[in-house]
Amino acid sequence: MRITKKNKITLLILLVIFIIYLYNILPSVISWGPSSNYENVSVRTTVNVTQAYPEIINITCNNGASVTLNAGTTYTLICLVQIRDYNGGNTINSTNGTFYYYLNESSDPDDNNVHYTNTSCTENSTNGYYTNWTCAFSVWYYANNGTWEANITVKDDYNLTAKDYTTVTIDPLYALNVTPVIDFGNRAVGDTTPPIPANITNFGNMDINVSVYGFGGNNEVTGAGLAMICEVRNITLPNERYDLSSATPYDSMTPITGAATHITGLTIPQQTNDSKPEINTTYWRLHINITTNPFGVCNGTVVFSTEVP
């Protein structure tokens, strides 16, 4: 049979098509061979984790607000701790915390100015993996103002622990306390009393200066210009005086006025000794003026105020 030129072209086209077909299916055909089972083998892996570390999810102290300490006493700082443990929230068996000034360390000894410890925080509630605890710190009025850190450590039944911290701001506190009564005793018209001490205690966490002013009785309006209101007549302001020394003569002392006046030379520092409050003393004297000739029980008010040094 004679192959024509046209048939040759047709055969050539068919051969090209067949080669292309083999090229496309050849990888699949080869993969059918048994050797592929030993070139790529998938193996499943498995493990059962039975002891997970606890996790501190969140720490919130003082509801997220800055702290204004209580003058002359302690402020209870409440820190709420949210914990998760995949062994169960009820496996958390202890939580403790330290609260310390940012320039200190968690491991430092306790000091009312800069460091507090709570080794027995309390559990509030537990639900599934989650548990909530409270760490409270009784912070003294003279604790440093500024940035503090609340560092919390939790431990579970497997002795696995987690640690985390949050920051808290303690505000400056300018506060003082004074001897409750300056009692000049029983006196006659014309007398000048001996010096009577009035102690001023720094009840805050800042150094303070002090100013004073006075008025008669207990009302600034009706008592203006007076040191004391008596049953009969009154005692005027210039007759009541103060100084920082008990040895200062009456004539050299500073008369009190009706406007707040800075006491020169008086600065009371922040307390730094836990057993020793910072106290300074002013001395007061009263002259019972013959001109006004008062009689009976007399009462007045002296107002002591903090000033920023």
pLDDT in tens, the chain (309 residues): 555 666 666 666 766 676 665 555 555 444 444 445 578 889 999 999 988 999 999 999 999 999 999 999 999 999 999 999 999 999 999 999 999 999 999 999 999 999 999 999 999 999 999 999 999 999 999 999 999 999 999 999 999 999 999 999 999 999 999 999 999 999 999 999 999 999 999 999 999 999 999 999 999 999 999 999 999 999 999 999 999 999 999 999 999 999 999 999 999 999 999 999 999 999 999 999 999 999 999 999 999 999 999
What are the tokens at 239? 């007759």
List, as one string, the DSSP characters of 147-204.
Answer: EEEEEEEEEETTS-EEEEEEEEEEPP---EEE-S-----S--TT-BPPPEEEEEEE-S
Domains and CATH numbers, the chain: 55-170 (2.60.40.2550), 176-307 (2.60.40)
Question: Are the CB atoms for 248 and 166 separated by under 8 Å?
Answer: no
Give first-to-last CA distance, the chain, whole Å: 124
What contacts 237, CB < 8 A, 6 or more positions away?
214, 225, 226, 227, 255, 256, 257, 258
Residues 69 and 33: their CA atoms lie apart, in Å, by 82
